[in-house]
Amino acid sequence: MSLRLYLLRHGETTFSMSRGFCGALDVDLTDFGYEMAQAFADEYKSLDWEAIYCSPMKRTQATATPISKATGLELKLREGLRECNYGEWEGKSKEEVRQAFQSDNYHWMTEPAWNPPTGGETAVEIRNRAMAVIAEIEETYTEGNVLVVSHRTTLRIVLCSLLGIDLGRYRDRLDYPAASLSVVKFGKYGPLLERMGDRGYMSPELRAREGV
């Protein structure tokens, strides 16, 4: 049996609907976001889980709590799984950022691996902290299923790091809708992406939510 990482993004928030910058803002889920979290728990509670690792932010803990209650597994909160800190861009729309931080926004859009949002984190910094958690999981569990509940940017960067995708292209190569699930198997030849952006466990109404 191999180790499998189930990488789950948190459910819908008001910012995921508007696509504004809210990385370090500790916002809660919407009512639909809570429904997504419960739908995931209902679908996956019978899977034989080894552990649940979770970002300590409110929206990720709210997403992970139903599956935690259903399985009896406590959440292992890790700072390394937090969302990108967008610095002075927090709470602003993309258009507001383009107008107020034209130069920094240009460099970040061009090469986010090394260029941060104004006062925020680079993709390299996010990779370093997030992959330390993945390394901890690999050292602790040689086989079985481990759930990781985190955020859109952080999870895309984790996948790029595992799959050998240029870190500066994480926005161009991977999407990660709210409450979507990706699965990575650690096999003989390294990480293998078995599933990407799966939301099939949701009702059609939840899957139809826009802006996520």
Q: What is the 3-state secondary structure (H, E, C) of 61-122?
A: HHHHHHHHHHHCCCEEECHHHCCCCCHHHCCCCHHHHHHHCHHHHHHHHHCCCCCCCCCCCC
Predicted pLDDT of residue 211: 66
Predicted pLDDT of residue 17: 86
DSSP state of 51: E
To the nearest 10 degrees (0 to 180), the angle between helices 152-163 and 123-140 is 70
Question: What is the residue extent of each domain of the chain?
Answer: 3-195
Please state which CATH class domain 3-195 belongs to: alpha beta
Predicted pLDDT of residue 188: 87
Running along the chain, 212 residues long, what does each successive block of 10 average in pLDDT? 96 90 94 98 98 98 98 98 97 95 96 96 98 98 97 98 96 94 94 96 91 64
The secondary structure of 123-182, three-state, reads HHHHHHHHHHHHHHHHHHCCCEEEEEEECHHHHHHHHHHHHCCCHHHHHHHCCCCCCCEE
Predicted pLDDT of residue 66: 98
CB 130 within 8 A of CB 60: no
b/e code 104-137 from CB counts within 10 Å (16+ = b)? bbeebeeebbebbbeebbbbebbbebbbebbeeb
For the four alpha carbons of 171, 24, 138 and 45, in that order, the dihedral sign comes to negative
Residue of 137, 184, 179, 145 lying closest to 47 (CA atoms): 145
DSSP state of 187: E
For the four alpha carbons of 185, 171, 21 and 161, in that order, the dihedral sign comes to positive
